[in-house]
Amino acid sequence: MTPFAYQVEQFADLRILRYEIPNFETLPLNKKAYIYYLSQAALCGRDIIWDQHNEHNLFLRGCLGIIYKELDRINSSFQKLELYYKRVLFSNGLHHHYSTEKIPIDLTAKELDEWVSCFSSQEINKLGLKSSDELKTKLSSLLMDVEYATKRVCQDEGKDLVQHSANNFYKDLAQHEAEAFYSKLKDEDEPHGISHGLNSRLIKTDAGIREEVWKLNGKYSKAIEKIIYWLNKAAEVAENKQQKKCINLLCEYYITGDLKLFDEYSIEWLQEQTGSIDFINGFIEVYGDPLGFKATWESLVNITDEEETAKASIISEQAQWFEDHSPVMPHHRKDKVKGVTMKVINAIMLGGDCYPASPLGINLPNAEWIREVHGSKSVSLQNISHAYEMASLSSGVIEEFAYSIDEIKLHKLYGSIADNLHTHLHECVGHGSGKLEEGVGSDALKAYGSVIEEARADLFGLYFMADEKMIELGLVPHMDVAKAQYNSYIRNGLMVQLARIAEGANIEQTHMRNRQLIASWVLENTRESNAVVKVEKEGKTYFVINDYKQLRLLFGQLLKEVQRIKSQGDYLAAKKLVETYGVHVNKEIHSEVIRRYSKLNVAPYSGFLNPELTAIYTNQELIDVKVSYDESFMEQMQRYNVEYNFEMGNSRP
């Protein structure tokens, strides 16, 4: 039997991987049908995330598709075009998927002329333009003007975060106007506030400021109509009545745009626990909005890994124990943890903001009041984690950045177990822990809220990984598992992750800020105990842990403070913590990391191709669904450009 090929190709700073769906072929037809319909709904929102990232992204995708098709392969600029096109396709737009900075291309005026010559007058008109000169001017701004649309998500202190972000969440207004608009809505709201702004673009016109809601017969209507169609098909073959109820509520929400219905759907989605197939679909995560109001569209279709879930459910069953033993202030703990569940799943279809770059774990819903009253649902993506692990076995990164042979051995022995356990703790009891003080809103920390929340969940996992309770519960064979994770976390937070950002740049991405914040704070606060020290060996820098017990205590101290900041809505403390430890990079270490990492010839970022699901019909009756893993990166992207293109923003494949 031929081994499964996890790695497909590598270009720029990206690795393209595949993930496998275990035992898909043996599923009964009704489950295959349910999966297929949900997967179609997951792919139909692709245009939405492109347009959310920038208002010109769909136009650019259409242009690059024409040039890629028409430009002579022997043209000297074709390789330049192909690389840039691949990077744009991977990032769902012209900004890097992780750093959110504009993807650079070294294009000359002559080469741009050659690219524009690929368009016929008819094609230019289809793009909504009048002439080749107008096309050239627009492409020149998007491709060559380094001052235009510089960052998709601006988090630079002192700047207007709305006006300096190139995303498509706000139009013709400033940060203070957006904040005032939603502050007024919040003041007028009922005690359990809905997440205002989650599913709309805020625009300013001569008539005033208003929301452009993402719904049927609103913005993104064509894509949403298709999503609703496939969700309704899925409801007909759902595994149980609760799944059907959830889908019907979600469709009603898409039709009306009413966020109260989204809350109702989220609560019902939490109650669905018996089916083996689950999904998320909608405007969910707010990382792409520096103000934390607007949610990007995403979807994930998955099936439960029963064996791994049996292990992970131990954590959710012990959620109250974790809460009661948390090192945070007692009045910041939940008196009674409700509805915390944990599943290990295998991804089947990634969509929107989950594709091609996939999360490793998810904890939803995000609405704080729902989490406190009804609980949360956490998942860990087993086959995605496994694909990462299989692809990284021979990368050489650990050997390069780990200080000693013993540290390398510890990672290879327990690294995979440690990563999985930390993800479980992070998603299940980390995000599900703690409570806000009375009168504190979930948006009190503004631009720093997402970083503080991720730090809180990471610290919760790090603190409890080294508790003897892990052995008692049978989650780890030895406390060395925690040591492996501590080594990895400090190594990554202070060094390895820096390979992902351009030399001289600050850290912009939420999770990277979170990791450096924790690691840098610990390093500064271990000077007396030397729990973590910086050492040099043979001209290379390393960070070594001397005292794991002391390090755990420091993780607990920082968790206490981070929870206090969130519980009290202490914006100034959040700002100081993030800006002091999470943003600025040690330039000497950064330069060294880039130099050492580049010698490994390993791309620092990875993303995934989806399996191709093909429906088999006889006389219009679905009789089977086949799965294939044969597509290349460009084959899948170009197929999606055609099959899931709904001509928004004058786009064309």
Ramachandran bin of 339, using left for φ above 0, alpha for ψ from -120 to 50, beta for the remaining angles: left
d(CA 337, CA 605): 36
Cα 629 to Cα 38: distance, rounded to the nearest angstrom: 19
Q: What 8-state DSSP symbol labels residue 330?
A: G
Chain centre distance of CA 440: 26
Report the DSSP beta bridge partners of residue 243: none
How many of the other CB atoms lie within 10 Å of CB of 175? 20
The reported pLDDT for the residue numbered 191 is 54
**Domain edges within the chain:** 305-606
Cα separation, 7 vs 101, in Å, equals 26
What is the spatial distance between Cα 265 and Cα 279, in angstroms, rounded to a whole number? Answer: 13
The alpha carbon of 498 is separated from its chain's Cα centroid by a whole number of angstroms, namely 18
- DSSP-derived pairing of the beta strands 170-171 and 277-285: unpaired
Question: Residue 576 has which token pair?
Answer: 């100081």
For residue 212, the Cα-to-chain-centroid distance in whole angstroms is 24
pLDDT in tens, 416-467: 899 989 999 999 899 999 999 999 988 899 889 999 999 999 999 999 999 9
Q: Which residues of the chain have pLDDT under 50?
A: 649-653
In the block, which residue shows the tokens 């923003």?
Answer: 649
Q: What confidence score (pLDDT) does residue 340 get?
A: 81
Residue-level pLDDT at 648: 55
Residue ranges in 318-381 assigned as alpha helix (H)? 319-324, 368-374
CB 388 within 8 A of CB 602: no
Q: Give the separation between CA 444 and CA 564, rounded to whole angstroms.
A: 13
CA distance linking residue 52 with residue 69, whole number of Å: 26
Q: Which of 448, 498, 446, 447 is nearest to 99 (CA)?
A: 498
Whole-number Å distance between alpha carbons of 217 and 236: 24
CA distance 482 to 474: 14
Contacting residues for 236 by C-beta, under 8 A, at least 6 apart = none
pLDDT at 312: 82
124: nearest Cα among 51, 53, 67: 67
Structure confidence at residue 190 (pLDDT): 58
Which residues fall within 8 angstroms of residue 122, CB to CB, at 6 or more apart?
A: none
Token pair 């992780």 is found at 98
Neighbours of 432 (CB within 10 A): 27
pLDDT of 647 reads 64
